[in-house]
Structure 1
């Protein structure tokens, strides 16, 4: 059972639809990573396929539950990146995978109940795969549920989004998130939540991974470079060897704090010599670089260019 209090409203609405036999044929669960949408869907699917579910909750004991636990339930199909013919993992979901899925859905449910398809991450479908899925969404088979999971739903075509019942997972209220973190035993919960931008799931993961120390190190690096100390090449190397996307997140966050401090007339923590317009440009550049380091370009050169602009 989910322990995230911000799931309660979504759960009640979805369960009410299930109870009156009005489930949509397609769901789109979306929102930032860390809010538990995958755990939410797993909980719902287990209850939907369970043979003795009560109020939507799986019993955990029946044959269906045992097969789900083993990952071998014949009426649950999961579509992800998959593997290429050369054994390497794909970086997108391709049309052949969707065609295989359509052929699978043409067959009847083996347990005589629901067939469930989980596509995760749905926003990794390329254009051809998304177009192929569109036909399945337009002509759903009875008692078939397609569940799409997306951290970045805007990458999905509007034609896909418009044919799904959307469930948006948004950041909970600060007090609710903080109470949950403390209940999970997270130390320095307030600092972790601030570092994660108010995302409690991300805050818990980062606290467990020691990311708060990395956040402080990034701020020290930026302050040192602003004061003319340290070398941009050395900072770039450390960030690249650590978690470059996380370092860039913390760097952008630190610059946002710098801007707020200036606006409030309080001492700026980084003591940057850049003017307000240049700070805003560097902030945007840091976020673009965070996206770019996921791609094929050399991370060290990307970071070095960014840090050279900070100096």
Structure 2
């Protein structure tokens, strides 16, 4: 169970990130499919947030487009099954040199055979929507119907596909049902169960697992080199195999916010109102919203753990799961419209207290 807690890591956007560790088996599966000459037209890349799903999708896209353009230019005798040209493409790997023209143009959003679909910015609120709407996906069909401009393939990434609303999902389904030739659609999904079954059934799945500790440690020391040894150990324990989650805690006072929140939760059903207001005031002053998002991640994580305990105890009702769903929607809504952040924080803790007072803690 996860939701609002992690979106994109601004420090390492997938479109310009050349590094991926811990998912060699998934890379090998896609590479084998390319080299077989029978590449499936749609791939569903699933797994927890913050483990590298979108980064893998971009590696897949760059690799295919680089091979395609190399073959078109007759640098290589063919797209499938031949030796790779020495043009920044690594043999037996999806890795592409960051200096490669395909890498640079995708990173800049300027490759004519590549389309990325994400949640758009609402022109009224000037904030990113909390779902992918039909207007965001409308361009896919026309884009894929055009002749590739630089090679043999066109590639679309939908990130994240489980954020599509019903109309958007239906529009994408039509493309999946009748895919154009030489078209590849990569769907990134944190919660594949939220997708239409008919969408899932038309995709080949790659299920990524949480990162193992050695990979997580390597990435943490790379992206958060100033973290102390004690904090590094705490981050490893809190990460749940997600470098994204670890970096949220490592930055913007994440560990301090975690300590303050868990101290409040530790004494339920009692609630220190003075400490709660202090926390709310502090996070409301943060104009970036990063501290507010971090608290949202912490509370949803705590609620998810409580909901899992309900399932294990076979409780007749599931108030923690219901509250998780309510709070997930509230924190996501706060990202797209201007809501009073402090009031959301107060309401969230008071709602948790109410459930705890009913004997569900």
TM-score norm. by structure 2 comes to: 0.68
- Determine which of 97, 102, 107 is the counterpart of 1:64: 102
Is 1:7 the equivalent of 2:53?
A: no
Instruction: Map 1:182-193 to 2 at 5 A.
Output: 182=221, 185=225, 186-187=227-228, 188-193=231-236
> 1:258-281, CA deviations, whole angstroms, 9 ceiling, x for partnerless residues?
x9xxxxxxxxxxxxxxxx999x97
Trace 1:188-207 onto structure 2 (pairs within 5 A). 188-207=231-250
Give the secondary structure class of the aligned counterpart of 2:23: helix
* Residue equivalent to 1:248: 299
The structure-2 alpha-carbon separation of the partners of 1:48 and 1:294, relative to structure 1 and needing over 3 Å to count, comes to same
Q: What's the offset of the Cα at 1:235?
A: 6.5
Gap change, CA 1:82 and 1:6, over 3 Å in 2: same
5+ unaligned residues in a row in structure 2: which ranges?
1-16, 71-86, 285-290, 335-342
SS in 2 for 1:77: strand
Gapped runs of 5+ residues in structure 1? 260-275
SS at match of 1:294: helix
Q: Distance in 1 between matches of 2:139 and 2:20?
A: 35
| 1:291 aligns to 2:337 (yes or no) | no
Structure 1 position 285, deviation (Å): 6.0
The alpha carbon displacement at 1:216 in A equals 1.5
Q: Report the number of matched residues.
A: 292
Question: After alignment, is 236-245 or 43-52 more displaced?
Answer: 236-245
Change (3 A) 1:210 1:232: closer
Match of 2:350 among 289, 296, 304: 304
SS at match of 2:110: coil
Q: Distance in 2 between matches of 1:105 and 1:277?
A: 48
- Calculate the aligned-residue CA RMSD, in Å: 3.4
Displacement after TM superposition at 1:230 (Å) = 4.5
Tell me the distance in 1 between the aligned counterparts of 2:161 and 2:148: 23
Corresponding position of 1:111: 150
**Could you tell me which residue of structure 2 aligns to residue 54 of structure 1?**
90
CA offset digits 1:31-55 (Å, max 9, x no partner)? 1111011112222222221233332
Q: CA deviation at 1:290?
A: 3.5
| 2:271–2:353 CA contact under 8 A, matched in 1 | no
Moved over 6 A (4+): 253-256
Give the corresponding residue for 1:37. Answer: 53
Give the match's secondary structure for 2:155.
Answer: strand
Query: Do residues 17 (structure 1) and 33 (structure 2) align?
Result: yes
- The 2-side partners of 1:286 and 1:238 are apart by 23
What is the CA distance between 1:27 and its match in structure 2? 1.0
Shift of 1:191: 1.2
| TM-score normalised by structure 1 residue count | 0.78
Distance 1:205 1:302, change over 3 A: closer
CA distance in 1 between partners of 2:319 and 2:234 (Å): 24
Moved more, 100-109 or 291-300: 291-300
